[in-house]
Amino acid sequence: MTGVSPHRFMEAPSWNSRGRSFPFSSVVVLFLATARVIASIQNVEQPANALNVTVIGHQYWWEYRYPSLKVVTANELHIPVSDPAHRTPTFLTLLSADTDHSFWVPRLGGKTDLIPNHPNSMWMDPHETGLYLGQCAQYCGTQHAKMLLRVYVDSREDFDRWIQEQRQPAHIPETASEGQRIFEETACVNCHTIAGTRANGTDGPDLTHLMSRQTIAAGAADNTPGNLLAWVYDPAVIKPGCRMPSMGLSTEQAGAVAAYLETLR
């Protein structure tokens, strides 16, 4: 190939020294700004009126405990809205029962991981009520994709009412239904808790107020009678590879259990 005199390789273009200092000064500015933001997020004192929630990640569902309010629930998190003038943020303590997970609701904040034997904490300070969506953001196994997050930011009144309802034991009718009998005699009770009954397993979600939730299976399906029946009959249809086994119930038995679950408001 033809070419140009090679010795112009010795000359620097006029923009070169500006070119070299630009990356350096940008880095300094960017770093200082970042350091400030990190401190303002991580080094925050918890205010006295903050709400504390413990989040425990499981394969493939979320357990929520409100220690000071004595509430235990699953998969759908309710927190109060925060008034910018009198802030009431929610502080989460993040734990894991099995492998690594990550709590990510983009509109409420960055993600923080849930790692066994390594408690983490994060805070959220939402100024608007509404439903905020997210999902697990650290690969945790087969059904990582369906470990969805639904955070309901409620007004103060709605939140207090929700807490009151969640604290009640299960609404039990006078005579135990066939579904409740099957539930308590099958291995369902090994994993699930229904407050006020004999079921007090902790490997699966607390079902005491299942019908107060809009979805089941950590958001994998809407909480409709059809989905509930399908889920009880064979969870693998909705969420193949999840930890809840099919109990080998007949369709009548599954229908009875689903009907029982539908009384758990």
Q: Which helix (H) or strand (E) holds 249?
A: none
Residue 236 CB, shortest distance to other proteins, in Å, is 10
Contact flag: residue 20 with other proteins (CB under 8 A): yes
Q: What are the phi and psi torsion angles at 183 (to 5°)?
A: -55, -45
Please classify residue 202 by burial: count the beta carbons closer than 10 Å to its beta carbon, then call 0-12 exposed, 13-18 middle and 19+ buried: middle
Contact flag: residue 224 with other proteins (CB under 8 A): no
Q: Which stretch binds other proteins (CB under 8 A): 21-29, 66-74, 161-169, 187-195?
A: 21-29
Cβ closer to other proteins: 90 or 197? 90
Q: Distance (Å, rounded) from C-alpha 137 to C-alpha 94?
A: 14
Residue 112 CB, shortest distance to other proteins, in Å, is 6
Residue 203 CB, shortest distance to other proteins, in Å, is 14
Q: Tell me, residue by residue from 70 to 89, as one string, x for binding to other proteins by CB under 8 A and - for no binding.
A: --------------------
Contact call for residues 93 and 67 (beta carbons, < 8 A): no
Contact flag: residue 13 with other proteins (CB under 8 A): yes
Return the residue matching tokens 């979805």. 215
Amino acid at 73: T
By CB under 8 A, the count of residues binding other proteins is: 68
Contact call for residues 19 and 101 (beta carbons, < 8 A): no
Sign of the torsion angle spanned by Cα atoms 261, 244, 74, 128: negative
Binding residues (CB under 8 A) for other proteins: these are 1-4, 6-13, 16, 19-20, 22-24, 27, 30-31, 33-35, 37-39, 41-43, 59, 94, 98-100, 102, 104, 106, 109-113, 115-121, 133-146, 148, 219, 240-241
